[in-house]
Structure 1
Amino acid sequence: MQDEEYMQQLSLGIDSAFDILVFRYHKPLFGYVYRLLHDEKLAEDIVQETFLKIYQQGKKGFVPDQFKPWMYKIATNACKDYWRKPMSRLEYITDKDMEGTGQIHHIIDHQIERQWMVESLNQLSVDYRTVLYLRFYQDLKYSEIALALDISINTVKTRIARGLKQLKTILRADERKGAKGNG
């Protein structure tokens, strides 16, 4: 069944349809939000908030034309709300610091190249970083990205092109630094 059909079932009171959507999208949505916020606890909170809004809208009878872009739009807006609230950042940093004491750090399961790419992407502006994550990590089409971010397809294309150009510059600069450091 399509995601929109599950939303239709949810609007009819069939809560198990929502469980299927959560199962289907929790991991990719968490990955997207985590890449934007760089904080596991906060990313999980945003994902839960996103699914709560999806559930509430479904219970009210709302069925989006395209579920996936709509879901990413909710999550992106929740991230933007977080960025607008400076106090919440301090709360999460404090929580994270408190959690981290006495714990063994996670072993990074990504290759060095992947970490290098993510670090390079993080140097981009939020606008460029967001479209690149949605396109290349979440595999959304341009039209879906436009819906998710509430921008035109031409703006999506422009941001992807400019983001990739800036990313190329960043990667080349990093390569030069690495060559100088090893030589």
Structure 2
Amino acid sequence: MDEDVRYVRQILAGNKRAYIHIIDRYKNPLYATILRMTKNPQTAEDLLQEIFFKVYERLPKFDQKGSFKSWLYRIAINHCIDQLRKKQPQTEQIEEAVLHSNETPEVVLLQTEKSRELEKMVSILPDDERTILLLRYANELSYAEISETLGISLIDVRNKLYRAKKKLRKNVQEGGYSYGVSERG
């Protein structure tokens, strides 16, 4: 039995403390996903808390047949998309990690600028393609997990990922940037 499913069963049986294991396991990868979507650390923290409340409330609806991880990400992605549609776009913030880097200011500036340009290119992709890219490369979900998370076929996942990477490569070539967007992966 999957460890997540074991914890879900414990929670549903009345052991509310078992939910701590779910939170500990998924808080960092979910936060990273949300932060990439919102580009705002405070908003990401707020949404993360909302998502964990929402997941807890919906645990009785988890059918325990599919992957808990996919189910969790589906709730998280949908919640973020709903919230982002309600709000105006947020201004970009320089990540804390970049500010405290040991690199020279020139290297930090170049890395930050490359990262911003790539984020801009990704942000103009259609929502479905951007979400698939994020799940695949930021969260390292398999094609099957993405398919289950988004409720689309495996072929659709592959096609949309291919189209997204093709658009990014085209933008990179037109802009003269080289970010290593490969055909495979």
The TM-score with structure 1 as length reference comes to 0.77
Q: Quick one: distance in 2 between partners of 1:116 and 1:126? A: 18
Q: Quick one: distance in 1 between partners of 2:37 and 2:95? A: 21
Identity percentage over the alignment? Answer: 30
1:181 corresponds in structure 2 to none
Query: Which has the larger share of helix?
Result: 1
Residue ranges of structure 2 left out of the alignment (5+ in a row) = 102-107, 179-185
Q: Quick one: distance in 2 between partners of 1:131 and 1:6? A: 28
Q: Quick one: distance in 2 between partners of 1:40 and 1:61? A: 30
CA RMSD of aligned residues (A): 2.8
Secondary structure (helix, strand or coil) at the match of 2:81 reads helix
1:80 is aligned to 2:81: yes
* 1:74-153 mapped onto 2 (5 Å cutoff): 74-85=75-86, 89-90=87-88, 106=96, 108=98, 112=111, 113-153=114-154
Closer, same or farther: CA 77–176 of 1 in aligned 2, 3 Å: closer
* 1:19-34 mapped onto 2 (5 Å cutoff): 19-34=20-35
Q: Quick check: 108-117 or 142-151, which moved more?
A: 108-117
Q: Quick one: distance in 1 between partners of 2:141 and 2:45? A: 21
Count of residues in Structure 1 that have an aligned counterpart in Structure 2: 164
On the 8 A contact 2:62/2:71 being kept in 1, the answer is no
Higher relative contact order (CA 8 A, sep 6+): 1
Q: Quick check: 148-157 or 132-141, which moved more?
A: 148-157
Q: Quick one: distance in 2 between partners of 1:4 and 1:44? A: 25
On the 8 A contact 2:70/2:148 being kept in 1, the answer is yes
Q: Quick one: distance in 2 between partners of 1:115 and 1:141? A: 26
Deviations 1:58-105 (A, max 9, x none): 3x37453211111110011112211332xxx25x95xx8xxx9xxx98
Q: Quick one: distance in 2 between partners of 1:28 and 1:176? A: 28
Paired residue type of 1:161: Y
Q: Quick one: distance in 2 between partners of 1:143 and 1:160? A: 13
Residue ranges of structure 1 left out of the alignment (5+ in a row) = 178-183
The TM-score with structure 2 as length reference comes to 0.76
